[in-house]
Structure 1
């Protein structure tokens, strides 16, 4: 039977959070009605953001090994709950027998066309530009933090989550959100899968939040249910409620 394949470990806490969202979004009444999932949890993949910025080793070989493991395990769909890794999306997709969801494209589909959205992500993801391109396809203007005055707070937030210092991550994120409000931002894309964890310790009053991890999980569940993977046979899709 096919299953959802998760290329995780980037970072570990974000992967656990993503798996929790998969379970929470699945309309199951017992164990057997949940979707089968196989996880390749590889925290030793070199830092994706540093590599994009030319400051570290290439993570693509490790990413491709993870994709190969998931294909060998019978994955019928692959999701990667790490935004920065999607800089190498085309190479991973070309090497995979199973389709790979693109986290930014999936996330942006949750937004109405037009307007603008503030993108909080790693420096590498912003330099890669895949969020900006996905937003432009829907006529949405990408609002990114100032690299000197604001992005350091985003960097601190992400580092704190990876280090397990959640209180510090919330303080850093509060400053990011305060500055976003000052710029007139109304919608914020959490374009790094650590940021939703920090958001539990921050204050987003007055901002509409779009969680890239949640939208990726939603797409996985919708696909798995449509394929009948929770029943071991093909079936029709079960509509999922959207987040408030």
Structure 2
């Protein structure tokens, strides 16, 4: 019997929609009934995760935990958070529910190891960068991490907040491309899109760089957990 997927969403809404779309399009299904059942709580009341980590902003854990409990009551069998920075609060979310919670960052590190990538460029929010979660996980697999310099990180944050989150289709990606080109010159084999707005940015702004998409990695794990088939890549 299929299991039900529960998505703690709203961080942001487009990132939530991107995960759901990938779950649908990556499922090998010939009819509606062969797709997994998916419950989504697009909880836009969850405070900004980066602000909480860096500047003492409102703690998002109470709202994350509330969404976890809502989805558990609604019948979910597994939970996931399509937000990299939210994984700073992963243990607290796990403590709020009896359900398993897929860890997107750990799954991404395992995917990079499977693909035998040895040097990655980490693109993420200031909050995710500050926590060092990805570096620790990559270190367990012997993967070297290249991050943007301070000026480059400002461009990545602008891409996330002023581009995707702001719905700005005319966002100028020229400075971002310069940052990515400089990182490639340092030996980066692929960019980890370590903010769930970044896969959207790479698609919408046609950024032609090799990448590892944690949202797609999470979608695959969700489909498999649900007992459905994943399309061949």
The answer for unaligned runs of 5 or more in structure 1 is 227-237
Q: How far apart in 2 are the matches of 1:43 and 1:107? A: 25
1:202 corresponds, among 192, 199, 206, to 206
Deviation at 1:93, TM superposition (A): 1.1
Deviation at 1:240, TM superposition (A): 4.3
Cα root mean square deviation, aligned: 1.7
Instruction: Report what 2:227 is aligned to.
Output: 225
Instruction: Report what 1:108 is aligned to.
Output: 109
Q: How far apart in 1 are the matches of 2:17 and 2:117? A: 33
Query: Deviation per CA, 1:188-242, whole angstroms, max 9, x where unpaired?
Result: 10000000111021332xx43100111000110011126xxxxxxxxxxx45424
Deviation at 1:171, TM superposition (A): 4.2
**Quick check: 1:119–1:190 contact (8 Å CA) kept in 2?**
yes
**Quick check: 2:193–2:211 contact (8 Å CA) kept in 1?**
yes
**Quick check: 2:3–2:225 contact (8 Å CA) kept in 1?**
no
Aligned length: 228
**Per chain length, whose mean CA-contact separation is higher, i.e. which structure has more relative contact order (CA < 8 Å, sep 6+)?**
2
Query: Deviation per CA, 1:45-75, whole angstroms, max 9, x where unpaired?
Result: 1100111112411111111101110111111
- TM-score under structure 2 normalisation? 0.92
Instruction: Report what 1:183 is aligned to.
Output: 186
Change (3 A) 1:171 1:202: farther
Provide the secondary structure at the position in 1 that maps to 2:227.
Answer: helix
Deviation at 1:44, TM superposition (A): 1.9
Provide the secondary structure at the position in 2 that maps to 1:203.
Answer: coil
Provide the secondary structure at the position in 2 that maps to 1:110.
Answer: helix
Instruction: Report what 2:143 is aligned to.
Output: 140
Q: How far apart in 1 are the matches of 2:175 and 2:56? A: 24
Change (3 A) 1:16 1:224: same
Change (3 A) 1:171 1:7: farther
**Quick check: 1:116–1:143 contact (8 Å CA) kept in 2?**
yes
Q: How far apart in 2 are the matches of 1:41 and 1:173? A: 29
Provide the secondary structure at the position in 1 that maps to 2:30.
Answer: coil
* 1:79 paired to 2:70: no
> Moved runs in structure 1, 4+ residues, more than 6 A?
none
Q: How far apart in 2 are the matches of 1:49 and 1:107? A: 20
Q: How far apart in 1 are the matches of 2:130 and 2:143? A: 18
- TM-score under structure 1 normalisation? 0.88
Q: How far apart in 2 are the matches of 1:202 and 1:167? A: 12
